[in-house]
Amino acid sequence: MNVAGCHKRQANGYVIIKPTMNHVEIEAKEIRPNVLIFTQSGWIDFYECYKDFVCKKCGSFDWFLATQNGLHAPPTLPARIPDIVTTNDNRAWIVSYRFKKTVEEYSKKLARFIPIPNQKDHYVFLPNDLIFPPKKVRITPEAEYKNEFNLDKLFNGEPHRADKLPCKACGHYSNLCFRRSLFYVPDDVVLCGIVIDTKSMSIAASEELAKHLSEAKLSGLLIKKKSFSRVPNETLIQRKSHS
């Protein structure tokens, strides 16, 4: 077991290993069907400027790379949206200036806020610290998920499972299953994006940062306190910083 970043204390003759920082999951309370960034409608009608980020073999869209290259097409946004909301086309996070200001009051090194064309008060939110699945994920046929009630047992301690091999052209898993209860967020993380597949991302934050966000009373924000594992493990991940 990897215990880096943890401290030990003696209790009743046993050594207890406890993480030095607890993490929570933060989410948008809703996915808005009328909020679109990369497509003109639904999941596949991409604007021309984003088509280079669509795999010609499997159709996966790399919205992380597209976002980092800047946004170019005017989005579809209603007149009023919460401080945090996810889009209907590829699960990007749209946040208000108020959300941006709240995060930057805590630290200006945690995330990028990518400007959205024709929008003064809203941004695409992308943590600087991104955690990607390992390059090799164990394959478990979808039929086995349906017949197994104890998914933690099926996953055998590993948080990632795929129902088929990744695309040979782009390397992406089109349908990756992720068990948050088996995932231990690295101990030094204050804010990170856990990339599940090309369609979704989970956000992990330290309890201290989550408290700061909660006190700002941001609309649309949901904080889940028991999503991730509290037991340090040797989960294989790919971690990239964009700060």
* Per-residue pLDDT of the chain in tens (243 residues, 90 and over written 9): 333 333 333 334 444 445 567 899 999 987 777 788 888 876 778 889 999 999 999 888 888 888 888 888 878 788 788 999 988 765 688 999 999 999 999 999 999 999 988 888 999 999 999 888 888 888 877 666 665 556 666 777 788 888 888 899 988 887 788 888 888 898 889 999 998 876 678 899 999 999 999 999 999 999 999 889 887 765 556 677 665
Residues 6+ apart with CB under 8 A from 120: 97
Helix (H) / strand (E) containing 97 = helix 97-106
Question: What are the beta bridge partners of residue 132?
Answer: 238
Rounding to the nearest 10 degrees, give the CA dihedral for residues 160, 162, 168, 174. -100
Enclosing H/E stretch for 63: helix 63-68
Q: 159, 156, 138, 158: which is closest to 148 by C-alpha?
A: 156
DSSP H or E run through 106: helix 97-106
Pull the structure tokens for residue 25. Answer: 């999951």
**Which amino acid appears at position 209 of this protein?**
L
